[in-house]
């Protein structure tokens, strides 16, 4: 039932089920679009779906479904032919349309449209559409139209906090806008002349595109400078043990980051609440130290430009010694989300690193489901970040991973090279330490390459 007085702007979801999409995947994708709408601060007031062999060339859906969609927005449900009106009239008022003979006719809004107070002001499409399709939908519905990429970009733009994240999102947003400049409608025919005002010059759209390209070039140059600093920091961590938390958005990565490191990272029940990579030491601190990084979440149909822009951020996952792959076990669609994560990891060439699969939020499933998951996913760990015992289990599993290849050896450090003792305490577990006339005797436990480095310094 539609709330007649929504507290937030209303949105209607539009989805087309194509032949290669199952009912389950279609329902899951549309539900996810609803969560994206919630993250944007929108209330979903309705859904319009249709089965089609392909998206309609003109306005995504057929004429009948287009009128159903207009019921939620107060639009006409008809795409006017000819040039767009210079000013959009109030929704629910007649809009002039022209037929193929060039004669105008009055097309009024549907008489059974929802009450004005409950109408949606935004249409969210669970697909990527062309600029002309989006424009036709806007003209038929009288509402703002956002496809899936535009929705994700809007969320990223809202949640970006660091300078690096803002640059990454802005580059992706401008690349998305570039082919849509022709749909702006105003000023297409204005041209600046050459010397003395003569000559064709550049059209307004060409000028806008050139400015956009120049702006993207400026942002890329600034981003490259920041990425060099990030790359330098990653190289400094090459000799340290690193773990990257990866997974679908809202799978609980930031919650685990806070639980494992004690850091005050942002934790919200929203999609893409975290866009900035955070690196903190595992707490209580182990010897040698283990660094945990929280990465940006993945999602189905993640725009390619965003993957490209966030590549430096995702490099934390590629360079990690261990990947902790988190999924929301309470979400029935988590197997599909798991596959999306694998696809993104393949795209950033992060498939070779060892990984631990964690079925998170296990406290939200019943006992029968828990037993079934344990049978279906024998290699996974079923945990809840809200259970201190589970957090301790996860910590021990991480520490055990880095200790599996450790060996114990004895070192004798001359008193003239006591700096090696400090290095041993920072990079190894010192089991015993004693002193005699030859120097400091250490029994250390560490990986062979770390011990070899210590011996080279003696």
Query: Which range, 218-232, 252-266, 402-416, is most confident?
Result: 402-416
Residues 393 and 272 both lie in one domain = yes
Dist. CA 338–CA 328, nearest whole Å: 9
pLDDT of residue 44: 92
Determine the Cα–Cα distance for residues 436 and 87; give it in Å rounded to an integer. Answer: 91
Q: What is the per-residue pLDDT for 288? A: 80
- The pLDDT score that the predictor gives to residue 107 is 41
Find the distance separating the first CA and the last CA of the chain, reported in whole Å: 76
Residue 341's H or E segment, with its range, is: helix 334-347
Determine what percent of the chain is predicted with pLDDT higher than 90: 36
- Comparing 87 with 55, the larger pLDDT belongs to 55
> What is the pLDDT at residue 366?
93
Q: What is the pLDDT of residues 344-379, one digit of tens each?
A: 888 878 888 899 999 999 999 999 999 999 999 999
Shared domain for 106 and 131, answered yes or no, is yes
In this structure, are 371 and 275 located in the same domain? yes
Residues 129 and 97 in one domain: yes
Q: Are residues 175 and 216 in the same domain?
A: yes
Tell whether 261 is covered by a domain: yes
Q: How far apart are CA 85 and CA 219, in angstroms?
A: 35
152, part of any domain: no
Residue 440, CB-side half-sphere exposure with 13 Å CA sphere: 18
The model's pLDDT over 144-155, given as tens digits with 9 standing for 90+, comes to: 999 999 998 888
319 neighbors 241 (Cβ within 8 angstroms)? no
- If you search the block for the tokens 């199952």, which residue do you land on? 22
Same domain, 111 and 137: yes
Let me know whether 266 and 387 are in one domain.
Answer: yes
**Which pLDDT score is estimated for 332?**
84
- Report, as an integer, the average pLDDT of 418-435: 89
Q: Is residue 194 part of a domain?
A: no
Does a structural domain hold residue 100? yes
The DSSP element (H or E) to which 414 belongs, if any, is none
Is the Cβ–Cβ distance between 171 and 223 less than 8 Å?
yes
* Residue 277, φ and ψ in degrees, nearest 5: -75, 130
Asked if residue 245 and residue 370 are part of one domain, the reply reads yes
Which residue, 83, 112, 146, sits at the end of a domain? 146
CATH number for the domain spanning 23: value is 3.40.50.11060
Mean pLDDT of 189-213: 64
Instruction: Identify whether residues 49 and 68 lie together within a single domain.
Output: yes
Dump pLDDT digits (tens) for 49-81: 999 999 999 899 999 999 999 999 988 888 877
**Range among 13-27, 113-127, 235-249, 330-344 with highest mean pLDDT value:** 13-27
The overall pTM is greater than 0.85: no
Predicted confidence at residue 259, as pLDDT, reads 92
Q: Which whole number is the average pLDDT over 221-244?
A: 78
**Comparing 3-12, 42-51, 222-231, 327-336, which segment has the lowest mean pLDDT?**
3-12
Q: Which residues contact 420 (CB under 8 A, 6 or more apart)?
A: 411, 413, 454, 457, 458
Determine contact, residues 48/61, Cβ cutoff 8 Å.
Answer: yes
In which residue are the tokens 């880095």 written? 402
Phi–psi pair at 201, nearest 5 degrees: 65, -155
Task: Decide if pLDDT at 224 tops 70.
Answer: yes
> What's the mean pLDDT when you consider all of the chain?
81
Q: Quick one: 36 exposed, middle or buried, by C-beta within 10 A (0-12, 13-18, 19+)?
A: buried
Greater pLDDT, 208 or 367: 367
* pLDDT above 70 as % of the chain: 79
Same domain, 399 and 423: no
pLDDT number for residue 263: 74
267 & 399 share domain: yes
Residue 87: per-residue pLDDT: 42
Is residue 341 very low, low, confident or very high in pLDDT (cuts 50, 70, 90)?
confident
Query: Which one of 375, 403, 431 terminates a domain?
Result: 403
5 CB contacts (<8 Å, ≥6 apart)? 117, 118
Split at pLDDT 50, 70, 90, the class of 186 is: very low
Report whether pLDDT(199) > 50.
no
Please give the Cα distance from 382 to 379 (Å, whole number). Answer: 10
Q: Is 153 among the domain residues?
A: no
What was the pLDDT predicted at 103?
Answer: 34
Cα 272 to Cα 296: distance, rounded to the nearest angstrom: 7
Query: How many structural domains is the chain composed of?
Result: 4
Lowest average pLDDT, out of 226-230, 282-286, 446-450, goes to 226-230
- Tell me the residue range of the domain where 256 lies: 238-403
* Confidence label for 273 from pLDDT (cuts 50, 70 and 90): low
Of 49-58, 236-245, 401-410, the range with the lowest mean pLDDT is 236-245
Per-residue confidence (pLDDT) for residue 371, from 0 to 100: 93
Same structural domain for residues 81 and 221?
A: no
How far are the Cα atoms of 172, 177, 270, 292, 338 from residue 159, in angstroms, in the given order?
14, 19, 10, 22, 24
């Amino acid at each position: 039932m539609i709330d007649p007085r929504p507290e937030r702007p209303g949105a209607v979801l539009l989805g087309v089920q194509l032949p290669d999409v199952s009912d389950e995947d279609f329902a899951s994708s549309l539900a996810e679009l609803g969560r994206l709408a919630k993250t944007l601060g929108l209330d979903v007031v309705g859904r319009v779906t249709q089965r089609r062999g392909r998206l309609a060339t003109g306005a995504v859906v057929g004429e009948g479904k287009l009128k159903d969609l207009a019921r939620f927005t107060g639009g006409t449900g008809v795409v006017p032919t000819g040039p767009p009106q210079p000013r959009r009239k109030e929704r629910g008022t007649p809009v002039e349309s022209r037929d193929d003979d060039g004669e105008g006719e009055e097309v009024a809004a549907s008489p059974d449209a929802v009450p004005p107070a409950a109408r949606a002001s935004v249409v969210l499409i669970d697909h990527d559409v062309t600029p002309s399709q989006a424009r036709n939908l806007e003209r038929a519905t009288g509402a703002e139209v956002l496809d899936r990429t535009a929705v994700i970009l809007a969320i990223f733009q809202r949640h970006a906090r660091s300078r690096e994240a803002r640059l990454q999102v802005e580059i992706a947003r401008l690349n998305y806008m570039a082919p849509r400049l022709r749909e702006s409608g105003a000023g297409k025919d204005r041209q600046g002349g050459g010397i003395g005002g003569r000559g064709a010059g550049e059209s307004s759209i060409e000028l806008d595109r050139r400015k956009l390209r120049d702006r993207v070039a400026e942002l890329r140059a600034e981003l490259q400078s920041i990425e060099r600093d990030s790359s330098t920091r990653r190289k400094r961590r090459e000799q340290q043990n690193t773990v990257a938390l990866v997974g679908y958005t809202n799978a609980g990565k930031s919650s685990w980051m806070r639980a494992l490191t004690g850091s005050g990272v942002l934790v919200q029940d929203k999609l893409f609440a975290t866009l900035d990579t955070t690196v903190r030491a595992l707490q209580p601190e182990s010897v040698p130290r283990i660094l945990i990084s929280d990465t940006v979440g993945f999602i189905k149909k993640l725009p390619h430009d965003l993957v490209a822009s966030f590549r430096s951020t995702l490099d934390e996952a590629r360079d990690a010694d261990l990947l902790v792959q988190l999924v929301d076990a309470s979400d029935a669609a988590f197997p599909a989300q798991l596959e999306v994560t694998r696809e993104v990891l393949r795209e950033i060439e992060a498939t070779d690193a060892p990984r631990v699969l964690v079925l998170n939020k296990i406290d939200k499933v019943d006992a029968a489901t828990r037993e079934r998951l344990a049978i279906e996913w024998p290699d996974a760990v079923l945990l809840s970040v809200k259970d201190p015992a589970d957090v301790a289990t996860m910590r021990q599993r991480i520490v055990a991973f880095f200790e599996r290849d450790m060996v114990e050896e004895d070192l004798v450090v001359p008193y003239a090279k006591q700096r090696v003792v400090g290095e041993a305490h920072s990079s190894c577990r010192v089991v015993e330490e004693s002193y005699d006339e030859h120097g400091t005797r250490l029994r250390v436990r560490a990986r062979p390459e770390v011990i070899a480095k210590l011996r080279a310094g003696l």
